[in-house]
Structure 1
Amino acid sequence: MKQRKNTILTYPIILEVLVWILYVLMYKYSYHLEHDYFPPQMGQNFPYPILCLYACCSSLYLIFYYRYLVPKLLSKKRYTWLLGLSFVYIVILGTWNNRLTAYFFSLVSSMPEKAYFHALQQGYLDWNLITTDTIAFLAVGISIFSYRNEISRRKMETEHLKLQMQVLKAQLQPHFLFNALNGIYALSLNHPKDTSSSILLLSQLMHYILHDAAREEVPLKEELHFMNSYFAFERLRFPQATIHLQINDVDDTLTIPPLLFLPLIENSFKHGKQTAIDQAEIKANVALNEEGWLTFRIANERLPLSKLSTTKKSGIGLSNLRKRLERYYPDQHHLQVDQTENHYIAEFKIKIR
């Protein structure tokens, strides 16, 4: 299953950085520079750099506004409160913040910057900066709120999907055990000497299902080992049948979700011709091509349709498999089940690399 890696460069972070660079450090600097206190300085591309520092320091109080206040009020849908507190925060608090910052800058600056900072201490309302501050940092706050909402929604979806997968696995385990116990019961009647071996194999299979397969993904080699053990279990049940498993060149360092093969294998052995006639054949094949598609194909002989009970159904196995493939490999899987009068053929493909 492919997962997207987390990255620190989220949209709100990028927008915040751009606002501080383009708006605070560049626009506000040039806005202060345009006042009559500052005569042109020929040959200098960046005159009066202390104005840029002042623009940055006088805007620091807005960090709490857009990172906490705006997302908090939006999450609670307090829109009227947001408008009122934005006015109080930016117009009233912002004015006093600018006066206080200008006072400290006037203590460490010289003319003509000192005269300009003295003028800023008068506390006049600069509606141009008030408007642009509100638009710029309210936009950042809204983007942070939207991003957090999206992360929360995706987290809830992930938890819901995990719960669904736990339910599917909980259904799969008793389904497998029920079929296996039926097989051991039939084996004890027909071939009692092989019953102990089949019980040992069953215990190994159940250990894998209950413990190893509890993980989200397992190494492909472990899943193939489980498949080999399952086929060995079925050979004990049907010693006269031809049961063949071929595993072609497969990169066993890859990982896949556990028990993907099991529903198709179970169906083949449950509804195969060997349940009624000793001479029957089941063939399975696992292969990985150069494009990264893992293919599993299993085919079994079946009795003519007229001799089969029409009430038999595949149960929850195929339904679970379809849900799991859609969950783990959306748009990167293919499942096909074909039935003829004498054969049952099932195949799925998944893109695992």
Structure 2
Amino acid sequence: MALNKKNIPQWLVHALLWLTISSLLFFPFLSGARTIPNNLLLKLFLAIVIFYLNYYYLVTKLLLKDRLWAYIALSVLLLLGAGLFSSIALHSLPPGGVPRRGGGMRPPREDDFWAFRYSMLTMSTTFVFAVPYIFGTMVKVYTEWQKNEDLRKLVEKEKIQSELNFLKTQINPHFLFNSLNTIYSLSVKKSADTSEAIINLSELMRYMLYEADKKLVPLAKELEYIKSYVALQRLRLANSENVTLKISGEEKGKVIPPLLFISFIENAFKYGTDYNGKSDVKINLSIRNESIQLYVKNIIGSFKAKSNSSGVGLENVKNRLNYLYPDAHVLNIIDDGKTYTVDLTLNLKNHELHNH
């Protein structure tokens, strides 16, 4: 799994860091045309060693493992030790004595040794060692956080995609089962519409095979699918006078995830039909510039399945809506015991599909 997020190359960050520190250290000598002291080069080398010891080991093994106090203690000891080593081993008193406060030079005294060592310890620890050390900690923590965040988003995206594929595979067998029941009922009655129903079903299955596996399909194709499905259901019903499908608005140029509306429509036909095959189903699809509204209303027939299996399709589409349009849809379902109403609005503006 490759992360496609573009980040600043780490080598460039490190190069800029050491270029900045080197410039600050060497500028006073280069600007005055003086020779760079060897102890300054050694100090820079020691700072680099400490930096990468912290960057690759202490931060990784302690700080990022929630061992904060152990990290702080070792960091303080390391910085103080580096400063003390730098002060004692890499520095000596300047030749000619020590500068006087009022000007001129005076011979070094015994107590100048520790005063000079202390001043060098403070300067080395605070600037040469501590500043890049702290900066390195910040860079490493941010880098690891960004890496984990990118990985988390990638895993979440793949998880959502897998769940969406699973949801669609649940929808397809459910639809096929209902459609075959429709054709069976027509064949039992030896209806002349049986062949037309088979053709309709083949067109519907073609759509599901070649379009439903896509993330997005043209809205026009999805509407044709819904029209074919309603036509197939009308053939099954003994009385379909009260079955209406109204589509208004311009679908050109709009796209939508496939099979997003069909579960609501399936549910309407399933529970809006009585024992005599009489149905009352109203389906309105309103297409606007920035939104699509689906309104489905059906009477609740004289029988209703008591098992929970009938709600599988609706739960699936609710989950898909939460995944695909988390902040860009409004779904209202009303069941008053006599009628069942679904009012769904999708906001097509200012949102990004999660499975993109």
Counterpart AA for 2:333: V
Aligned pairs (5 A) from 1:63-78? 77=65
Partner of 1:308: 303
Percent identity among equivalent residues? 29
C-alpha distance in structure 2 between counterparts of 1:61 and 1:239, whole Å:
86
Instruction: Describe the shift of the 1:224–1:324 C-alpha distance in structure 2 as closer, same or farther (beyond 3 A).
Output: same
Question: How far apart are residue 72 of structure 1 and its match?
Answer: 6.8
Matched, 1:149 2:148: yes
- The CA deviation string for residues 83-135 of structure 1, in whole angstroms up to 9 with x for no partner, is 79xx79xx7xxx9xxxxxxxxxxxxxxxxxxxxxxxxxxxx995431222222
Give the number of the structure with larger relative contact order, counting CA–CA contacts within 8 Å between residues 6 or more apart: 1
Match of 2:334 among 325, 333, 338: 338
SS at match of 1:153: helix
Question: How far apart are residue 273 of structure 1 and its match?
Answer: 3.1
C-alpha distance in structure 1 between counterparts of 2:9 and 2:55, whole Å:
14
SS at match of 2:212: helix
The answer (yes or no) to whether the contact 1:173–1:210 under 8 Å persists in 2 is: no
- The CA deviation string for residues 186-220 of structure 1, in whole angstroms up to 9 with x for no partner, is 22223522112212211221222233101222221
SS at match of 2:327: coil
Question: How far apart are residue 182 of structure 1 and its match?
Answer: 1.6
Instruction: Describe the shift of the 1:17–1:335 C-alpha distance in structure 2 as closer, same or farther (beyond 3 A).
Output: same
- The CA deviation string for residues 305-324 of structure 1, in whole angstroms up to 9 with x for no partner, is xx334626532011111111
Match of 1:319 among 308, 315, 322: 315
Match of 2:343 among 341, 344, 347: 347
Question: How far apart are residue 162 of structure 1 and its match?
Answer: 1.8
Aligned pairs (5 A) from 1:37-52? 38-39=31-32
Question: How far apart are residue 26 of structure 1 and its match?
Answer: 4.9
Give the ranges of 4+ consecutive aligned residues of structure 1 lying more than 4 Å apart after TM superposition.
14-21, 23-28, 56-81, 124-127
Instruction: Describe the shift of the 1:309–1:231 C-alpha distance in structure 2 as closer, same or farther (beyond 3 A).
Output: closer
C-alpha distance in structure 1 between counterparts of 2:333 and 2:264, whole Å:
9
SS at match of 1:168: helix
Instruction: Describe the shift of the 1:340–1:131 C-alpha distance in structure 2 as closer, same or farther (beyond 3 A).
Output: closer
Instruction: Describe the shift of the 1:238–1:309 C-alpha distance in structure 2 as closer, same or farther (beyond 3 A).
Output: closer
Question: How far apart are residue 142 of structure 1 and its match?
Answer: 1.8
Instruction: Describe the shift of the 1:67–1:186 C-alpha distance in structure 2 as closer, same or farther (beyond 3 A).
Output: farther
Instruction: Describe the shift of the 1:75–1:248 C-alpha distance in structure 2 as closer, same or farther (beyond 3 A).
Output: farther
The answer (yes or no) to whether the contact 1:281–1:301 under 8 Å persists in 2 is: yes
Instruction: Describe the shift of the 1:61–1:293 C-alpha distance in structure 2 as closer, same or farther (beyond 3 A).
Output: farther
SS at match of 2:284: strand
Q: Which 5+ residue runs of structure 2 have no aligned equivalent?
A: 34-43, 87-119, 350-356
Partner of 1:199: 198
The answer (yes or no) to whether the contact 2:291–2:345 under 8 Å persists in 1 is: yes
Partner of 1:232: 231
The answer (yes or no) to whether the contact 1:337–1:345 under 8 Å persists in 2 is: yes
The answer (yes or no) to whether the contact 2:297–2:339 under 8 Å persists in 1 is: yes
Aligned pairs (5 A) from 1:1-353? 8=6, 10=7, 13=8, 24=18, 26=20, 28-34=22-28, 38-39=31-32, 77=65, 126-127=124-125, 128-238=127-237, 240-242=239-241, 243-273=243-273, 276-278=276-278, 280-290=279-289, 292-303=290-301, 307-309=302-304, 311=306, 314-353=310-349
The answer (yes or no) to whether the contact 1:66–1:140 under 8 Å persists in 2 is: no
Question: How far apart are residue 341 of structure 1 and its match?
Answer: 4.8
Counterpart AA for 1:317: G
Question: How far apart are residue 325 of structure 1 and its match?
Answer: 0.6
C-alpha distance in structure 2 between counterparts of 1:169 and 1:310, whole Å:
23
C-alpha distance in structure 1 between counterparts of 2:51 and 2:255, whole Å:
44
Instruction: Describe the shift of the 1:235–1:145 C-alpha distance in structure 2 as closer, same or farther (beyond 3 A).
Output: same
State the TM-score, normalizing by the size of structure 2. 0.67
Partner of 1:98: none
The answer (yes or no) to whether the contact 2:47–2:129 under 8 Å persists in 1 is: no
